[in-house]
Amino acid sequence: MAKTIIISNRLPVQLQISNGSITAIPSVGGLATGMKSVHSGGDSLWIGWSGLTNEETPEALESQIDDALAEHGSSKVKLTQKEVDGFYYGFSNRTVWPLFHYFMEYTEFQWESWEIYKQVNQKFADAILEKAEDDDVIWVHDYQLMLVPQMVREKRPNVSIGFFLHIPFPSFEIFRTLPWRMEVLEGLLGSDLIGFHTYDYERHFLSSVRRLLGLEVSFNDIYLDDRVIKVDSFPMGIDYKKFNEAAKEHAQRDESQKSELQKRLDTHKESTPDAKFFLSIDRLDYTKGIAKRLNAFEYFLNKYPQYKEKVRLIILAVPSRSNVPQYQLLKKEIDELVGRINGELSSVSWTPIWYFYRSMPFDNLIDLYTTCDIAWLTPIRDGMNLVAKEYIATRTDKTGVLILSEMAGSANEMNESLLINPNNFEEIADTLDKAINMPKEEQQQRNSILQKRLERYNVEKWANDFMTSLLNQKEKDLTYISRRLSVDLMNTVMKKYKSAKRRLVFLDYDGTLAGFNKDPQKASPDEDLFRLLDEISAQENTDMYLISGRDKETFTKWFMHKGYNMIVEHGVWISQNGEDFRMLEKVKKDWMEKIHPVLDSFVDRTPGSFIEEKNYSLAWHYRNTDPDFGQKRAVELNTVLTSLIANDDLSVLNGNKVMEIKSSNVNKGRASMRVFAENEYDFVFAIGDDWTDEFMFQELPDDSITVKVGRQKTHAKYFVDSTKNVRDILGRFADMH
């Protein structure tokens, strides 16, 4: 039976060693909560580091630890202290974390930590491979394990692998500075599905894939030779019911049941009923913008002095990575800021900032969420920010105002909050003023919409959506595999080929017989291709045609001496049995004077692009351009041309990194059918790689064997992955005796 394997840096349990015995305590919040529905449902296993290094783990307790983890459906990866230092504190948190959050000044590029990162990723991959079987589903989590998918794929090519990144993926300009950028991308591309919190992160990732690896990306699909990878956004939710019901229970408590924190909050509320409490909760991290928030609060009180003694900022900074120098400096900076602001602005009865540097239990968090009037969460960069969602979930009377940074991933789905730029103190001050004075009805209207959305798309829905997409991607792959021209299918084709009385074979050139080249004139045929074509064309009762969008001059130079049958410029010209080219279709070319200046302007504005002038068509090539910019210009040019040729008998063909304008009544479908009508063929084979070949696939008789090179949507019956597979097919044809 297939099982689900979840992999993360840390396991969803914490181990405690006491008096020679082990206790495993389930973790709360975050990923552990998010994956509960997946982990607890059916056959599943969670693989990760236990939190104890090899040096901290007595050998005598190893089996106890394994047993304790097994009770929680978990299995450990053993790490030394050196590995933790290099992998986690080193590469993960001194390279990837700051770089992906746009803090270049904190980013370190250390080869030693990169080597340890690779070694530890291999350890995680090996742990998976020990447990995984071919039909299992594997879900890898976060930036610490970005190499794992490909490491697993190399040994288990048939497993279904998903990867989710819980932090931002940076823009190409930032990501390209990483010395190991190619290895990271290739590691991630071992996945079948790659998930991000937001579309922006997804877009940045796809841009890097296009620009650095040169892979074909269509919408949110990445095409490799042997499979398709789906990339999508899945905004992580929270356990809405847990927070909402906890808030309702808090509201029912009597005085004896309240925490000391709640009593203190109530006392201050009662002494100043009109005062507003601002709430700020973050891990102590430079990405969270805590220091900026403190400075902005001081700016606000100076701009709006009427709020002195009428507002209070409660800051909860949860300790994090306290052994990392940047975090130690940040702690010192925040301590000093709080001390200075309180020292300068406090009065006998009022302290503007309450500062807590510690973790708080769940009940105390609910105290803060339900008591504070305004949640002020303004990270400089944040993958998601679930605190914003937790705050809204606890507002059972639907009052309260959420002020949220535009730079938080959750801002994309929480537009009803007050969104601000965390660097704009003027805007922040005005927004705080607006929040203080927001009518109760408006608060409830905004929060009602947010609550419905958060309740519907909760953390369980997030996990299930990802798993459903991953399984669907696997199904799609299986569908593709059923149409792949496998060995068995090829054997069937060969039986038909051998028994046929008369054969007709159409072979596209670029992307089919030969790979693409930045300079089209350098994609000339090699000796091996000539050998295959010679043998096929020499076979009795076999008519082989090269059919291409190329100009007749190029094909005359490359192939005329061989006497092959050729159709060029998508069906304008035909050469049979080595004779000169003659026109298949009568077409005009006076339109070219109108279109050429348009293409010239796009060449001028798109570095790397160029125009190919054929006898009866014009082609704008953009293979050598920046991938993102070239695609953007192609969309723009398509719009311009579609409008320009609306009343002409012209069409625009969108090929592989080329856009061609030609007469509408010329295409490979018409040309191939003209040839088909000349004889009685009982075997027809056609193969090609782009949209220009789709006309041929559609027009040829239903019993034809049509093959697409690549996995794009097609009318062809079968597909192969690459030009190498095409050569293999030709080899089978050529060897027919």
Domain co-membership, 282 together with 336: yes
d(C-alpha 129, C-alpha 115), whole Å: 21
**Phi first, then psi: what are they for 285, rounded to 5°?**
-150, 140
Q: Which residues fall within 8 angstroms of residue 531, CB to CB, at 6 or more apart?
A: 734
Domain co-membership, 253 together with 176: no
Q: Are strands 542-547 and 565-568 parallel, antiparallel or unpaired?
A: parallel
Q: Which tokens in the block code for residue 577?
A: 């049995």
Q: Which residue has the tokens 């350098």?
A: 522
Domain co-membership, 675 together with 656: no
Among 578, 542, 488, 529, CA closest to 737: 542
Domain co-membership, 133 together with 8: yes
Are the C-beta atoms of 120 and 114 separated by less than 8 Å? no
In a domain, 473, yes or no: no
Are the C-beta atoms of 250 and 397 separated by less than 8 Å? no
Among 327, 283, 239, CA closest to 30: 239
Burial classification of residue 582, based on how many CB atoms lie within 10 Å of its CB (0-12 exposed, 13-18 middle, 19 or more buried): exposed
Q: How many CB atoms are located within 10 Å of the residue 648 CB?
A: 14
Q: Which residue has the tokens 């192969």?
A: 720
In a domain, 463, yes or no: no
Please identify, among 184, 211, 233, the residue that sits at the C-terminal boundary of a domain. 233
**Which residue in 142, 192, 239, 508 is the catalytic one?**
508
Q: Which residues fall within 8 angstroms of residue 195, CB to CB, at 6 or more apart?
A: 162, 163, 164, 165, 231, 232, 233, 234, 466, 469
d(C-alpha 294, C-alpha 303), whole Å: 14
Among 7, 156, 163, CA closest to 76: 7
Query: What are the pLDDT digits (tens) for 511-553?
Result: 999 988 878 888 899 999 999 999 999 999 999 999 999 999 9
In a domain, 645, yes or no: yes
* First-to-final CA distance of the chain: 47
- The alpha carbon of 183 is separated from its chain's Cα centroid by a whole number of angstroms, namely 16
CA-to-CA separations, 127 to 1, 63, 120, in angstroms, rounded: 19, 17, 11
Domain co-membership, 190 together with 294: no
CATH number at residue 724: 3.40.50.1000
Domain co-membership, 294 together with 373: yes
Q: Which residue has the tokens 């306290």?
A: 322
Domain co-membership, 421 together with 442: yes
pLDDT at 737 (0 to 100): 60
d(C-alpha 266, C-alpha 602), whole Å: 67
Domain co-membership, 248 together with 323: yes
pLDDT at 40 (0 to 100): 73
d(C-alpha 309, C-alpha 332), whole Å: 26
- Helix 668-676 / helix 691-699 crossing angle, nearest 10 deg: 30
d(C-alpha 456, C-alpha 450), whole Å: 10
Q: Which residue has the tokens 């040019």?
A: 637
Domain co-membership, 334 together with 285: yes
508 is catalytic: yes
Are the C-beta atoms of 176 and 206 separated by less than 8 Å? no
State the DSSP string of 79-92. Answer: --HHHIIIIIIIII
Among 9, 23, 34, 32, CA closest to 71: 23
Please identify, among 198, 233, 268, the residue that sits at the C-terminal boundary of a domain. 233
E-only strand ranges, 155-301 = 160-164, 193-196, 216-218, 221-223, 228-233, 276-283
**Phi first, then psi: what are they for 624, rounded to 5°?**
-90, 5
- The alpha carbon of 710 is separated from its chain's Cα centroid by a whole number of angstroms, namely 21
Identity at 339, one-letter amino acid code? G
CA-to-CA separations, 113 to 8, 119, 465, in angstroms, rounded: 19, 10, 35
Q: Which tokens in the block code for residue 310?
A: 């009428």
Domain co-membership, 210 together with 246: no
- Helix 240-251 / helix 362-371 crossing angle, nearest 10 deg: 70
pLDDT at 41 (0 to 100): 64
Domain co-membership, 496 together with 605: no
Q: Which domain holds residue 28?
A: 4-233
State the DSSP string of 557-603. Answer: HHHGGGT-EEEEGGGTEEE-TTPPPEESS----TTHHHHHHHHHHHH
The kind and range of the H/E element at 446 are helix 440-456
Query: What are the pLDDT digits (tens) for 311-368?
Result: 999 999 999 888 778 889 999 999 999 999 999 999 988 999 999 999 999 999 999 9
Among 405, 409, 412, 403, CA closest to 383: 409
Query: What are the pLDDT digits (tens) for 671-715?
Result: 999 999 999 999 999 999 988 899 999 999 999 999 999 888 889
Low-confidence ranges of the chain (pLDDT < 50): none
Q: How many folded domains does the chain comprise?
A: 4
In a domain, 435, yes or no: yes
Q: Which tokens in the block code for residue 565?
A: 């049958």
Domain co-membership, 425 together with 546: no
In a domain, 30, yes or no: yes
Please identify, among 645, 662, 679, the residue that sits at the C-terminal boundary of a domain. 662
CATH number at residue 59: 3.40.50.2000
In a domain, 461, yes or no: no
pTM, full prediction = 0.85
Q: Which residue has the tokens 């010679």?
A: 534
In a domain, 395, yes or no: yes
CATH number at residue 648: 3.30.70.1020
Q: Are strands 503-507 and 542-547 parallel, antiparallel or unpaired?
A: parallel
d(C-alpha 488, C-alpha 384), whole Å: 48
d(C-alpha 561, C-alpha 530), whole Å: 11
In a domain, 479, yes or no: no
d(C-alpha 590, C-alpha 549), whole Å: 20
Q: How many CB atoms are located within 10 Å of the residue 107 CB?
A: 18
